[in-house]
Amino acid sequence: MAAAGNQGRLAIIAGSGKLPLFLAQASRAAGEDPFVIRLKNEADPIWEGFDNAVIGVGDMSGLSGLFASHDIGRVVMSGAVKKRPSFREISPTWKSLSKVPAVLRTLMAGGDDAVLKMVIELIEAQGCQVIGAHEILPDLLAEVGAFGDILPTSDDLRDIERGAEAAEALGRLDVGQGAISVGGRIVALEGVEGTDAMLKRVAELRAEGRISQRRKGVLVKLCKPQQDMRADLPSIGVSTVKNARAAGLAGIAVEAGRALVIEREVMVAAANEAGLFVMGIDRGLKDKHA
């Protein structure tokens, strides 16, 4: 666990989902005094008891002001950002003005990975260090093997292999992190809609009889090969298990060492109860914990 010490106060930039609150609680337990920067229209309003402020997603100038006034030295980005800022919402600092054309270009045309790399660069240009959630809470990272009581069958292992192949191709294109394989056939790939929406689509296709009723299938989530681990690591939690169950899947596989598991105990209990396996798979990347 990193202590606050002379590295400056920790800021948590909070998008949607459960990860930001979980991270704030866990980092406090680890001796940090986190300051939470809630992204407008993205973060859930659940921040009682935490020092916090709200800013617009494109408000670089406001972000810079918050960093200065709260003596922020380290920044963790967490949670999803569904809507990219539009031209009108970008308020640059004087220092970052020359970067605006490139910023807009990336916001318009870049994949999520390109956008997040840019955000990291902009924050670090303010003198703050951007760190990954796993650097504060290494226990968040998925490890190799099954998390709960259920183990994948040989059919499931084949779906894991096929799903991983598709997710990797998808990641290389900077499109998304998730793929669903049912009986060895890829039935859905994750785009802008996100994992939960993709799982709901598969539940619908299953109800319509367009996906085999006799084969269960697996959701695979992998980190993009070129992805910076400080932003948008693939994550799973209770809602993933719930939606995977509704989609009729046998289980979920995530990349060990490069995926976050939110509220692990609650998630594992839900998976055990639903009869789903959840496991970390080793992709054999050398630099997994970088």
Residue ranges in contact with its own copies by CB under 8 A: 82-84, 86-87, 108-111, 158, 165-166, 169-170, 172-175, 180, 183-189, 191-193, 201, 205, 208-215
Nearer to its own copies, 137 or 186 (CB): 186
Residue 80 beta carbon to its own copies: minimum distance, rounded to whole angstroms = 10
Specify the residue, 199 or 267, whose C-beta has the smaller distance to its own copies.
199
Contacts of 166 by beta carbon, 8 Å cutoff, 6+ apart: 179, 181, 186, 189, 220
Q: Supply the minimum distance, in Å, between the C-beta of residue 57 and its own copies.
A: 11
Closer residue to its own copies (CB): 10 or 187: 187
- Residue 53's beta-bridge partner residues? 37
Residues 6+ apart with CB under 8 A from 28: 34
Per DSSP, helices labelled H in 149-194 are 154-172
**Nearest to its own copies of 176, 280 (CB atom):** 176
Q: How far is the CB of 261 from its own copies (least distance, A)?
A: 25
145's CB contacts (< 8 A; 6+ apart) are: 256, 279, 280
Helix (H, G, I), strand (E, B) or coil at 191: coil
Shortest Å, Cβ 210 to its own copies:
5
Least Å distance, CB 155 to its own copies, is 9
- Work out how close the CB of 79 gets to its own copies at its nearest, in angstroms, rounded to a whole number: 15
Residue 214: burial class (beta carbons within 10 Å; 0-12, 13-18, 19+): exposed
Q: Which is nearer to its own copies, 83 or 289 (CB)?
A: 83
Instruction: Rounding to the nearest 10 degrees, give the CA dihedral for residues 29, 32, 37, 38.
Output: 0
Q: Length of the chain in residues, anyone? A: 290
Of 27 and 106, the one with the shorter C-beta distance to its own copies is 106
